[in-house]
Amino acid sequence: MKTSTINKEEIEKFSKISEEWWDPQGKFKPLHKFNPIRIAYIKDNIIRTLNIKNKEKPLKNVKILDIGCGGGLLSEPMNRLGAEVVGIDASDKNIKVAKLHAKKNNLNINYLCASPETLKTETKFDVILNMEIIEHVENVDTFLKSCSNLLKKNGIMFVATINKTLKSYLFAIVGAEYVLRWLPIGTHDWEKFVKPSDLISISKNYELNLDQIDGVKFNLIKNEWHLSSDKSVNYITQFIKN
């Protein structure tokens, strides 16, 4: 079994466009559009699961590991909500961009160039974020095993990714990359997409049990993402470690 989850081609792909992370009209425009629904989903489910009462800083003292953090599009809002955030990415360029942006905004986020299996830490995290990353890793099994090792008992892991269906090929690759040009051509490889049943099955091997799963759809008229019962393209999940 491969012990590294880093796919060098994928890292290089995102390193080349790392300067654009914080440009809402740049190559990461789809993620900027996606961010409000991701933030709300993560925040609301952490509050529900951990039974948090603090409304002002609902994630205060919650230790979050943001894997594949890129330029920090999720790490920063999580930190602003009170969380203690560690953001890791296998691209050194991404980490440099993230550090610079956090410093400009006076945010205390610990950014490290690492993957889950290489991260040297004694900390067990309350929450792990795997958002739009699992379809870019080299070995999903090893990746999820490493994530589980970093998560404390009863901890939460969020995974947002793309289903492996004909519809996802047409929408996420043909539509998003070739027709609408939302993403650079070659951003996604359909062979690396993960069916929910496979994700749930592999996670269960590492004591990660599904708590919630929702589809996520884009409304062209409203120009925004929303939760849906349709999981045939994008979906988002919450797992609890037993």
The residues spanned by each domain of the chain are: 8-241
Please say whether the beta carbons of 139 and 7 come within 8 A: no
Nearest-angstrom CA–CA distance, 54 and 59: 8
The three-state secondary structure class of 63 is: strand
Rounded alpha-carbon distances, angstroms, from residue 135 to 61, 84, 239:
30, 26, 17
Please say whether the beta carbons of 184 and 159 come within 8 A: no
The pLDDT value given to residue 169: 87
- pTM (2 d.p.): 0.92
Please say whether the beta carbons of 104 and 130 come within 8 A: no
The pLDDT value given to residue 13: 76
The pLDDT value given to residue 55: 79
For CA atoms 135, 46, 37, 226, the dihedral sign is: positive
pLDDT by position in tens, the chain (length 242): 456 888 888 788 777 777 889 999 988 888 899 999 999 999 999 999 999 988 789 999 999 999 999 999 999 999 999 999 999 999 999 999 999 999 999 999 999 999 999 999 999 999 999 999 999 999 999 999 999 999 999 999 999 999 999 999 898 888 776 776 777 787 888 889 999 999 999 999 999 999 999 999 988 889 899 999 999 999 999 999 99
The class (CATH top level) of 8-241 is alpha beta
Phi-psi region at 136: left, alpha or beta (left = phi > 0; alpha = psi -120 to 50)? alpha
The pLDDT value given to residue 185: 80
The pLDDT value given to residue 1: 45
The pLDDT value given to residue 3: 67
The pLDDT value given to residue 4: 81
The pLDDT value given to residue 120: 93
Q: What residues form DSSP beta bridges with 130?
A: 67, 159
Please say whether the beta carbons of 164 and 183 come within 8 A: no
The pLDDT value given to residue 123: 93
Nearest-angstrom CA–CA distance, 77 and 89: 17
The pLDDT value given to residue 220: 82
Rounded alpha-carbon distances, angstroms, from residue 173 to 21, 186, 197, 236:
20, 8, 21, 18
Instruction: Spell out the alpha helix ranges (H) of the chain.
Output: 8-16, 29-50, 75-80, 92-104, 140-150, 166-168, 196-204
Q: Max Cα separation, the chain?
A: 47
Q: What residues form DSSP beta bridges with 127?
A: 64, 156
For the CA atoms of 116, 121, 126, 129, what is the dihedral angle to 10 degrees?
Answer: -30
Q: For 188, phi and psi rounded to 5 degrees? A: -115, 150
